[in-house]
Structure 1
């Protein structure tokens, strides 16, 4: 097993234990009768409730997600046709892996705290929502920092028909997108503590989608000017 995959799996095991432990503690602490909050709006007010017998489903989502995501991330470097490029860019791969786990652990913590402290008549607080959005914004800062260091692969990075058919287009696109994702993450981090209501929930998504679309468009023009855009074997079957 590659050392960076082993490190990612160790981090995944820690993240799973933290989220599963938080889920188990929260479920045991919930009242046996009545309904408990399982979903909250941008203002922190609970808007969906369930009985304790159903609440475990919501608490189990993130531990299950960590297991699934970690399995995929561990397999990708083994099955990608350009696996050597993932190995070369392993720092970017591992940093993204661990940062994603951190966000999921924080989300589980926010859910557990909110589930235990909020109720239909409880004073709403948007702080948990703000912290989760801030963590997601920080994730995009990390991704943006490492994007220029990635190498062409079919399962990691900005994969368009043009970046996958030209190493030059890949490199130019990721150098272009990296700072933009960092900017989007920085603005989203600021917005997490400035905006309220629906814009608190939407602002980071709008920024990231805009950057992603700009990167896709740029990849086409980078490919148009690439010297290796027509590289191929010329063989027919």
Structure 2
């Protein structure tokens, strides 16, 4: 009988609602606006460049926290319908919970800290230190999670999804792409990062496109739509077509970023992501419907 561990979510739910409780307690002491966004200047110091009302800031952070909380559970909700992946999922549950708890605590602590400073309960002198500590902590958590996912998926799969060399390339590239955004933010006072993040993502997409065209069915790596997961023929054909799309548009987008300004780079990245997401998804659905209606 499977042990019910729903009670472990109670502390996280309490953490998520804590900013609202702190707001109710400090409300008489809070100003109309509190800092909601910072930039790191050339001297490495945080500078406030955005403000919101305390309640609006809490709601915005609350929404972000819910997105993180929900997305961390999404993969494992899918595994309930995929019997062959449940063993791997069980191995990932402890690290998933640890990462989810760390991110929830970090996102909930931000508005609490700002309200305590605004109400005069804390001094603002350590804001830069806490920001760097939080950013580094988030990078470490996400990389530990990625390492565990890739190691479990490869070591405990009966049939390896990719050749080991290709798998390691994608594994390392994933670590780089996940880390580059936070690291650029932390080093914003020392490097110019307007195009770097988008260029790394586009290069990653091109690499994946070159390696994923023959990836075998699995829950974590590849184009995982409900239809590719249900039918191996749909999986194989979708990945052959999707691999070409990822490589061509990833490489073309990367080249284009060197020819345009920083603002246009964001539009290029969004366009490429839309194309490589929507076309394979629609293709897998159409192909699946065609296959299951064959006599």
> Is the TM value for this pair above 0.5?
yes
Q: CA 1:136 to 1:181, structure 2 compared with 1: closer, same or farther past 3 Å?
A: farther
Pick aligned residue for 2:141 from 139, 142, 148: 139
Superposition map of 1:78-227 within 5 A:
78=80, 80=81, 82-117=82-117, 125-151=127-153, 168-169=161-162, 174-182=167-175, 194-196=187-189, 209=201, 212-213=204-205, 216-220=208-212, 223=215
Query: Is residue 40–residue 46 contact of structure 1 (8 Å, CA) maintained in 2?
Result: yes
Q: CA 1:187 to 1:63, structure 2 compared with 1: closer, same or farther past 3 Å?
A: closer
The structure in which a higher percent of residues are helix is 2
Query: Is residue 184–residue 191 contact of structure 2 (8 Å, CA) maintained in 1?
Result: no
The alignment of Structure 1 onto Structure 2 pairs a total of residues equal to: 210
TM-score (norm: length of structure 1): 0.61
Q: CA RMSD in A?
A: 4.5
Q: Which runs of 5+ in 2 are unaligned?
A: 41-45, 217-231, 235-290
TM-score (norm: length of structure 2): 0.52
Q: Which runs of 5+ in 1 are unaligned?
A: 153-165, 225-230
Q: Deviations over 1:165-219 (max 9, x none)?
A: x95338765443334444566777876765438868997x569736742552343
Pick aligned residue for 2:11 from 3, 14, 25: 14
Query: Is residue 54–residue 115 contact of structure 2 (8 Å, CA) maintained in 1?
Result: no
SS in 1 for 2:39: coil
Farther-moved stretch of structure 1 (98-107 vs 42-51): 42-51
State the structure with bigger RCO (CA 8 A, min sep 6), 1 or 2: 1
Q: Deviations over 1:12-32 (max 9, x none)?
A: 322221232244124421445
Q: For residues 97 and 138 of structure 2, what CA distance do their matches in structure 1 show?
A: 13
Q: For residues 23 and 135 of structure 1, what CA distance do their matches in structure 2 show?
A: 24
Q: For residues 15 and 107 of structure 1, what CA distance do their matches in structure 2 show?
A: 12
User: Which residue does 1:48 correspond to in 2?
Assistant: 50
SS in 2 for 1:39: strand
Q: Deviations over 1:4-47 (max 9, x none)?
A: x73xx444322221232244124421445641325112334333
Q: CA 1:91 to 1:139, structure 2 compared with 1: closer, same or farther past 3 Å?
A: same
Q: Deviations over 1:50-103 (max 9, x none)?
A: 44554542353356446644664563332x4x3431433432354234303311
Query: Is residue 181–residue 211 contact of structure 1 (8 Å, CA) maintained in 2?
Result: no
SS in 2 for 1:46: strand
User: Which residue does 2:274 correspond to in 1?
Assistant: none
- Per the TM alignment, residue 134 of structure 1 is displaced from its structure 2 partner at its CA by 1.5
